[in-house]
Amino acid sequence: MNSSFALKPGQKVLLIGGAGFIGHNLALELRRQGVDVDIADGFRVNSLLNLSIQDDETQDIDIYKGFLDERLELLRASSTEFIISNATDRYEVSKILEKHYDVVYLLAAVSHASRSNSDPVGALQNGLLPFVNVVSELSKKPNTRLVYLSSSTVYGHFTKDSVDESDTCNPYGMYAVLKHVGEKILFETGQNSELNYSVVRPSALYGERCISRRVSQIFLENAFSGRKLVFKGDKEEKLDFTYIQDLVQGLILAGFHENGYRELFNITFGNARSVLSLVDILREYFPKLELEVTERDQATPLRGTLLNTKAKKLLGFEPQWCLEDGYASYIRWYLQRSKERGMVFNTISQTNE
Ligand SMILES: NC(=O)c1ccc[n+]([C@@H]2O[C@H](COP(=O)([O-])OP(=O)(O)OC[C@H]3O[C@@H](n4cnc5c(N)ncnc54)[C@H](O)[C@@H]3O)[C@@H](O)[C@H]2O)c1
């Protein structure tokens, strides 16, 4: 991050859906920088409650519950405040937002493309309803910046190697449609209200304590368990893999920097890499790794680089983690955790995200 940018201690932030993968990492960094953080989360979507009561594609629920417990341990140790809340409830959201926040991050959603497609009503309920509730409140509060988490999937199948924020969107699937609708609603609401917002489009995130089982996580867990990797994709397929710490830096800038006002940013590492380069990095730790590539079966579009030039120029965004460094750090976290707590993965299912 540009060294001239510093947060003021005592500023207040609310993270709706903040117990999730992105939210807890963001909260920990904000606390480290002296910001007061409240997390409002229902723990029912991709979280502790649904893992406890629903059948899931994975049999590794106990390990993922361990990751979720660890998030909470870290958050408690950092003195983050928790509000257990369902953001689909208009009244609950309005009550929480009676308190003044400098920045509100809206992270609640069904964060998987495949699950949003197969359960569109669930995606609407946990994505669109919280969005409507938050926008209704914050359109009257210009001193609070709303940061909205969109997605690289709004661009649809890439027709060229790289895109920037001025490129046309052609959202692919229910998940992308909802994200894009949110962007458009923010823009239109801003025309006729005082809404103070910033939009962030991340891409292919990876990092510690993620339970979303995207390709980087599944490859790592299968390599760790001595299983063959099966990639249901195009062997030339590329993604703009972004380590969670780089996204966190960009989210803080989008929330607090004056230049974030009513702007939309690709917050990415900014250099798409072949998905199969994950395998090369894994082989340094698991030399006997086998790989099979099968016919493409993905819920997400074919993508490439999301250029981050605008975020660099307007916000001073400076991503630090190339794939070799970020993925190696993530691999070492699994190895270390396994030594400390033991981990045996049973799952045989493969990614289609
Ligand atoms: N992880 C990625 O690769 C990625 C990429 C682009 C965009 N995003 C977006 O960023 C946001 C956060 O993603 P994530 O990876 O942290 O997801 P996540 O699933 O780990 O976290 C989402 C959190 O929201 C909470 N939540 C869901 N519905 C809720 C509701 N109705 N009320 C209260 N809490 C609710 C869940 O309990 C969970 O803790 C999502 O909007 C996602 O679509 C994620």
Tokens (6 digits) for 136: 């209704």
CATH superfamily of 12-206+241-271+306-319: NAD(P)-binding Rossmann-like Domain (3.40.50.720)
Rounded CA separation 38/83 (Å): 7
Tens digit of pLDDT for each residue in 317-339? Answer: 999 999 999 999 999 999 999 99
Pocket flag, ligand 1, residue 43 (CB < 6 Å): yes
165-207 per-position pLDDT tens digit:
999 999 989 999 999 999 999 999 999 999 999 999 999 999 9
CA distances from 352 to 47, 102, 296, 297 (A): 20, 38, 8, 6
Between CA 197 and CA 187 the distance in angstroms is 9
Which of 54, 71, 107 to probe ligand 1 with, by most ligand atoms within 8 A of CB? 107
pTM, entire model: 0.96
Pocket test for ligand 1, best of 14, 15, 16, 21 (most atoms within 8 A of CB): 21
Q: What is the sign of the dihedral through the CA atoms of 19, 20, 21 and 26?
A: negative
Q: For the chain, which residues score pLDDT lower than 70?
A: 1-4, 55-58, 347-353
What one-character-per-residue DSSP string does 179-208 give? HHHHHHHHHHHHHTS--EEEEEE--SEE-T
- Asked if residue 183 has its Cβ within 6 Å of ligand 1, the reply is no
DSSP-assigned beta bridge partners for residue 82: 39
Does residue 320 contact residue 274 with C-beta atoms inside 8 Å? Answer: no
Residue nearest to atom 42 of ligand 1 (CA): 111
Q: Is 25 in the pocket of ligand 1 (CB under 6 A)?
A: no
What is the dihedral sign for C-alpha 208, 210, 211, 212? negative
